Amino acid sequence: MFDALSDRLEVVFKKLRGAGKLSEKNVQDSLREVRQALLEADVNYKVARDFVKSVQEKAIGDEVLKSIEPGQQIIKIVHDELVTLLGGQAEPMAPIDKSPTVYMVCGLQGSGKTTLAGKLALQAKRKNKKPMVVAADIYRPAAVKQLKVLADSISVEHFHLEGKKPQQICAEAVKYASKNFIDLVILDTAGRLHVDDELMKELEEIKSLTNPDELLLVADSMTGQDAVNVAREFHDRLDITGVVLSKLDGDARGGAALSIRQVTGCPIKMASVGEKLSDLEPFHPDRLASRILGMGDIISLVEKAEETIDLEKAEKMKEKILKSQFDFEDFLEQMQQVRKMGPLDSLLGMIPGAGKALKNVQVNEKDVNRMLAIIQSMTIEERRNPKILDGSRKRRIAAGSGNSIQAINQLLKQFAAMQKMFNNMNRMKMKGLPKGMMPF
């Protein structure tokens, strides 16, 4: 794995500890590390170079040289600059305010267009709008069917004309939509290489026939240096209005986004963060900046927690902890809440520093499942009062959950340790827990 930028800068500044004074050369050394980090995050070479130059001017000021933690200071400047470059703040999609509003989706093969079409449709539906997806990919085998299956799964209308050209399909779709009270038409075009002149022409024609309100380029967040050329070509020919970053749920650092933003000047509007149709989020420049620098994404984590955790329940839980009444029943509920937030490993990935600290720790979804199975094999009474668990009960639970008795003893031990920890915390008169979050 790549070292996070903060680790590397630490190395640079450690060398200086003895020297006592920071010089311009030190700053330059650290900026070289910054540049390397950007390149490793797939930021375009020229973009990275220009970026470092602009940071250099800011960083050589007295503020950095005199600060106690110059490494942190430089990272802050770099981070802030990145956020600015990425567009400052999230920019919304064109509103669905006329009948029909048209979104056109284009991009390279395999960037995630069809899935995005489905996600956009679902999002519109949740806003009580009536969307319709249009299958204009007549080239890839079964692409039309793929969109149809997705549309059916969310009960959204699907439009396609067998044997017709994509231009015609899209034009007809818009006509159909305006007669049938459709609020949003989503045109799913075929994947194509930006150097494929014929297919790029096809997109130009679709654009002029349908006059889309939003022309989105879907960009794979794992793309390398070529992202610049792709974005430039699509933008030059089609004048795109926004970019959607796909597959951000992987571990790509996503530097391509910075290049795309720089080259096209177009805002990055949405980010695709999973395979489920609900996994589409507004794009947050600050989070991507942290990610490009390998700094984790704590804000997303907190937000996810706030979204999924029931505040009232959390309050009750807090009460229980404070009164040392936390039992297995509560633990189960707590685990289920956390589970709703997504796979554990992706949650851990968002914690700053976790990437480094947990490099070799595999959060095993299976172990968690095993633990839940054990608790679920207990009776309510046993969950409330684990002390009554004797040999015979343990045997029953072991058989019921498919575990060994040792596994059950181990869980009981861990749980006892946790209760003890809570007791200690209470004794320290802890004032309050953060909203909705548990201290473990």
To another protein, the closest distance from the beta carbon of 39 in angstroms equals 5
To another protein, the closest distance from the beta carbon of 254 in angstroms equals 9
To another protein, the closest distance from the beta carbon of 198 in angstroms equals 12
Helix (H) / strand (E) element for 243: namely: strand 242-246
Q: Choose between 366 and 431: whose C-beta lies nearer to another protein.
A: 366
Q: Choose between 171 and 344: whose C-beta lies nearer to another protein.
A: 344
Q: Which two tokens stand for residue 342?
A: 């997504």
To another protein, the closest distance from the beta carbon of 250 in angstroms equals 4
To another protein, the closest distance from the beta carbon of 431 in angstroms equals 37
Side-chain-side CA neighbours of 410 within 13 Å: the count stands at: 10
Strands of 184-189's sheet in order across = 157-159, 131-136, 184-189, 101-107, 214-220, 242-246, 268-272, 280-282
Residue 238: partners with Cβ closer than 8 Å, 6 or more residues away: 106, 200, 203, 204, 207, 215
Whole-number Å distance between alpha carbons of 224 and 42: 5
To another protein, the closest distance from the beta carbon of 74 in angstroms equals 20
Q: Choose between 213 and 281: whose C-beta lies nearer to another protein.
A: 281
Q: Which amino acid is at 311?
A: L
Q: Choose between 140 and 420: whose C-beta lies nearer to another protein.
A: 140
Cβ–Cβ under 8 Å, residues 277 and 245: no
CA distances from residue 433 to 316, 317, 332, 376 in whole angstroms, order as listed: 12, 10, 19, 27
> Count of CB atoms within 10 A of residue 92's CB?
10
Collapse the DSSP code of 135 into the 3-class scheme (helix H, G, I; strand E, B; otherwise coil) and give the result: strand
Angle, vertex CA 161, rays to CA 158 and CA 162, nearest 5: 120
Q: Which has the closest alpha carbon to 329: 276, 269, 380?
A: 380
Task: Report the interface residues with another protein, using CB under 8 A.
Answer: 1-2, 36, 39-42, 44-46, 49, 108-112, 139-143, 145-150, 153, 193-196, 220, 222-230, 247, 249-253, 255-256, 275, 343, 345-346, 349, 362-366
To another protein, the closest distance from the beta carbon of 56 in angstroms equals 16
Cβ–Cβ under 8 Å, residues 268 and 86: yes
Contacts 24+ apart (CB under 8 A), 394-401: 401/370, 401/373, 401/374, 401/376, 401/377
Q: Choose between 101 and 223: whose C-beta lies nearer to another protein.
A: 223
Q: Which has the closest alpha carbon to 208: 174, 160, 177, 183?
A: 174
Q: Which has the closest alpha carbon to 70: 34, 26, 38?
A: 26
To another protein, the closest distance from the beta carbon of 190 in angstroms equals 10
Whole-number Å distance between alpha carbons of 301 and 125: 26
Q: Choose between 193 and 405: whose C-beta lies nearer to another protein.
A: 193
Cβ–Cβ under 8 Å, residues 91 and 267: yes
To another protein, the closest distance from the beta carbon of 360 in angstroms equals 12
To another protein, the closest distance from the beta carbon of 347 in angstroms equals 12
To another protein, the closest distance from the beta carbon of 139 in angstroms equals 7
Q: Choose between 333 and 345: whose C-beta lies nearer to another protein.
A: 345
Q: Choose between 315 and 367: whose C-beta lies nearer to another protein.
A: 367
Q: Choose between 44 and 262: whose C-beta lies nearer to another protein.
A: 44
- Residue whose token pair is 């003893």: 409
To another protein, the closest distance from the beta carbon of 21 in angstroms equals 27
Strand locations in 11-155, DSSP E? 101-107, 131-136
Q: Choose between 49 and 316: whose C-beta lies nearer to another protein.
A: 49
Residue 31: partners with Cβ closer than 8 Å, 6 or more residues away: 52, 55, 56, 59, 74
Q: Choose between 195 and 311: whose C-beta lies nearer to another protein.
A: 195
Q: Which two tokens stand for residue 309?
A: 């955790």
Q: Is the dihedral of CA 252, 32, 348, 286 positive or negative?
A: negative
Q: Choose between 148 and 370: whose C-beta lies nearer to another protein.
A: 148
Q: Which two tokens stand for residue 279?
A: 């996994």
